[in-house]
């Protein structure tokens, strides 16, 4: 049945609760899992919701166990949903390469065989899971979105395509211009084929350059010791476009930090606080 959830795990943490659910996705044609942190229900009966999108090779549990976000979220009264990064299962197309296939859905809608049968992560998040959290979990209040690396790409694209659904967006070391870097080109070629006009629909730089409407505040943190900074990430490209179109974007270069969850854990509380100011005023 639509929106039918199976509770897999439940753990009390910082006076809140960490859950993990499974459900069948009609969009992806497979079973999916997602994790959810809820602050204390007695103190925060209707908490705002932050979406967290993880990066390459991750699933819905990486952020819950490595980022250390629950303590700050419990204090702020913020719920966090952590979807998986791709469809999963033996019937879902996959390859041996770590940056394509299962664990590397790139938060887009694939058009090419064999990927199109399952890899519709954008529609899954934007329509199916968004509806599920409203109807089945009661999150009808304000939402914000954040992510890391491939998930930073996903968060930026989701926000730029759906500014009416979110109040703010943030990212750690995002892939901002996937059309022009190896990770993105590899994925876009496989999932979308050769049509670069179609690629541009999933590229934050292209979306921001053509953006019209109300802009959402953006915070990006990037470590200057990130080994992927120059070849794969290149956040300065998005900053340049934001300045041209007067889009409110803040890029913070963090000295000595790399691409790992140690970097995320160091600044995640600041990101939650950033989002809280816009969620409170929604």
1 occurs within a structural domain: no
Q: How confident is the model at residue 4 (pLDDT cuts 50, 70, 90)?
A: confident
pLDDT tens track for 86-103: 999 999 999 999 999 999
Percent of the chain clearing pLDDT 90 (strictly above): 95
The mean pLDDT of the chain is 96
Please write the tens of the pLDDT for every residue from 199-224. 999 999 999 999 988 899 999 999 99
Closest Cα partner for 74 from 13, 159, 156, 144?
13
Work out the pLDDT band at 123, boundaries 50, 70, 90: very high
Query: Does some domain include residue 166?
Result: yes
CA 109 to the chain's CA centroid: 15
| Within-domain flag for 17 | yes
**β-strand partners of 18:** 11, 37
Looking at the domain assignment, is residue 233 inside a domain? yes
pLDDT tens per residue across span 29-67: 999 999 999 999 899 989 999 999 999 999 999 999 999
Query: How many residues are present in the chain?
Result: 282
> Which residues are annotated as catalytic?
149, 226, 259
Q: Which CATH number is 83's domain given?
A: 3.40.50.1820
Q: Is the pTM for the entire model greater than 0.85?
A: yes
Residue 164 maps to a domain? yes
CA 218 to chain centre: 14
Start-end of H helices in 61-164:
62-66, 70-76, 121-123, 130-135, 150-161
Q: How many domains does the chain have?
A: 1
Domain that holds residue 35: 6-280
Q: What is the pLDDT of residue 282?
A: 57
Coil, helix or strand at residue 31: strand
Buried b (16+ CB within 10 A) or exposed e, 80-93: bbbbbbbbbeeebb
Closest CA to 14 of 37, 44, 47: 37
* 60-73 tens-digit pLDDT: 999 999 999 999 99
Q: What is the DSSP string of 192-215?
A: HTT-HHHHGGG-HHHHHHT--SPP
């Amino acid at each position: 049945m639509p929106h039918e959830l199976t509770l897999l795990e439940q753990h009390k943490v910082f006076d809140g609760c960490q859950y993990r659910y499974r459900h069948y996705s009609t969009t992806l044609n497979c079973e999916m899992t997602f994790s959810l942190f809820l602050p204390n229900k007695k103190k925060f009966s209707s908490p705002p919701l932050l979406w967290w999108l993880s990066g390459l090779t991750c699933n819905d549990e990486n952020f819950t166990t490595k980022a250390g976000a629950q303590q700050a979220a419990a204090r702020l009264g913020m719920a966090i949903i952590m979807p998986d990064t791709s469809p999963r299962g033996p019937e879902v197309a996959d390859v041996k390469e770590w940056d394509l296939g299962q664990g590397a859905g790139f938060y887009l809608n694939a058009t090419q065989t064999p990927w199109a049968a399952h890899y519709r992560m954008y529609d899954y998040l934007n329509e199916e899971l968004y509806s599920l959290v409203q109807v089945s979990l009661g999150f009808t209040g304000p939402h914000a979105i954040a992510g890391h690396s491939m998930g930073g790409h996903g968060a930026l694209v989701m926000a730029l395509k759906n500014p009416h659904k979110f109040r703010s967006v943030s990212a750690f070391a995002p892939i901002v211009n996937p059309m022009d870097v190896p990770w993105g080109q590899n994925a876009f070629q496989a999932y979308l084929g050769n049509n670069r006009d179609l690629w541009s629909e999933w590229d934050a730089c292209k979306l921001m350059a053509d953006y019209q409407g109300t802009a959402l505040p953006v915070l990006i943190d990037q470590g200057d010791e990130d080994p992927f900074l120059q070849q794969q990430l290149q956040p300065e490209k998005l900053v340049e476009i934001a300045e041209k179109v007067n889009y409110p974007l803040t890029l913070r270069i963090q000295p000595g930090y790399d691409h790992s969850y140690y970097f995320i854990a160091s600044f995640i509380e600041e990101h939650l606080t950033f989002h809280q100011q816009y969620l409170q005023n929604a």
